[in-house]
Amino acid sequence: MKITAVICEYNPFHRGHKLQIDSIKARGELALCIMSGGFVQRGIPALFDKYVRAESAVRCGADLVLELPYPFSCSSAEFFAKSGVALADSLGVVDNLCFGSECGDIERLETISDRLASPTFAEAFKTARADKNNRNLSYASLRSKVYEELYSEGFAILPNDMLGVEYISALKAARSGIQPVTYKREAPFSATESRRLITSENSFDCLPDEVAELYKDSEQYRMEYAERAILAYYRSALPEEIKKYDGMTDGIADRLVRNAKTCTSLDMLIEKVGGKSYTNAKIRRCIINGMVGVTTDMLKKKPLFTNVLAFSGEGRKLIRRINKQGNISLLTKPAHCKRMKGDARMQADIALKADGLLTLMCENIKGADEFLTRSPFLGE
């Protein structure tokens, strides 16, 4: 039986995600989900905790949900894809990587991946980046501009297409035997819209019937709940101390410290620091990485451990296979991370520190070790 991996956030698990799981199971394959932990790519806490989201996936047909730990879960598309692929590869059991894309065309995504990885593109991008006329362009905007100039082809690539390109590039760079598979995303299903409905209208209709009540009964996490703690941290920080952390380049560290002293809200701080050159997500990631202490070198390493968050009966068998065939520390109890040594223990300590920050972003503040006491959900 083939194993198909899905690298995901499930923020939250909506009806579109269930359709993807259903399609994998309809082919007679097992669905293995590599899901972001507490923090996600946009530099915010997931709206619901990782155990709630993992349980919802298994209740809707997934066989095993493993954590993509922080800081990999809270990184740019490139690092997110590379770390997710590295984790999938290290399990030793994955045959396919399935992802949604706006175009649904694997050949187009592979062509874009090859072009972006070419020496021709690398040289053109380097030249463009040195041009003062491009100083105010973000990385993504400059990449689009160079691509269009080189290939005389529009680069109107949407977010999930771009993430798909990053997955393909990561698989090729790793010389992985995992095969990429894509499907066309359906417009009605959106995590952004699902979050809006839940937070603004208290509507859970966007979620599968099997898990709507689970989400209704669960606490929500929001970055603004820790607004005062964040402002206090950066008001007392020294620019020279935080410049070593990921993303703190081009004066971002200085602007964070300077503006934290006058800004009266988190949104105001993000807007002041980012300006026209950086996305809000980029600045939010900098804020979290600076507080937890994440360097770019940490993100360049592959994940050396993962937590089991939820599994089915078939998932239990899959865990045994991974323990035999894999090359990664698979933790069925979070507290077991304290038994690890070396780089794996260092990664676990950073993830625990992030979880400690996350507990300040809950409706009701929890102790820093809240997630050390949790157990995986076991489904049927």
The label of the residue with tokens 């598309």 reads: 77
Residue after which a domain boundary falls, among 265, 297, 329: 297
Identify whether the C-beta of residue 39 lies closer than 8 Å to the C-beta of residue 74.
yes
Which alpha helices (H) appear in the chain, and where do they start and end? 15-26, 50-59, 77-90, 106-116, 119-130, 139-151, 159-173, 191-201, 212-216, 227-236, 239-242, 252-260, 266-274, 280-292, 296-300, 313-325, 342-358
The label of the residue with tokens 């698990």 reads: 13
Statement to judge: residues 139 and 272 lie in one domain? no
Statement to judge: residues 214 and 308 lie in one domain? yes
Statement to judge: residues 124 and 44 lie in one domain? no
Global pTM value: 0.94
pLDDT 10s digit of each residue in the chain, 380 long? Answer: 999 999 999 999 999 999 999 999 999 999 999 999 999 999 999 999 999 999 999 999 999 999 999 999 999 999 999 999 999 999 999 999 999 998 899 999 999 999 999 999 999 999 998 998 888 787 778 888 899 899 887 666 788 899 999 999 999 999 999 999 999 887 677 899 999 999 999 999 999 999 999 999 999 999 999 999 999 999 999 999 999 999 998 899 999 999 999 999 999 999 999 988 889 999 999 999 999 999 999 999 999 999 999 999 999 999 999 999 999 999 999 999 999 999 999 999 999 999 999 999 999 999 999 999 999 999 98
Residue 158 CB neighbour total at 10 angstroms? 12
CA angle 196/201/204 to nearest 5° reads 75
Q: How many domains does the chain have?
A: 3
Selection from 71, 94, 100, 96 nearest residue 83 by Cα: 71
Statement to judge: residues 30 and 166 lie in one domain? yes
**What pLDDT, on a 0 to 100 scale, did the predictor assign at position 156?**
62
Statement to judge: residues 20 and 99 lie in one domain? yes
**What pLDDT, on a 0 to 100 scale, did the predictor assign at position 187?**
66
Helix and strand totals (H; E) in the chain = 17, 8
Statement to judge: residues 278 and 145 lie in one domain? no
**What pLDDT, on a 0 to 100 scale, did the predictor assign at position 159?**
84
Statement to judge: residues 214 and 276 lie in one domain? no
- Supply the range of the domain harboring residue 124: 108-157
CA distance 14 to 197: 12
Rounded CA Rg of the chain = 20
Amino acid at 211: V
Residue after which a domain boundary falls, among 121, 141, 157: 157
Statement to judge: residues 174 and 80 lie in one domain? yes
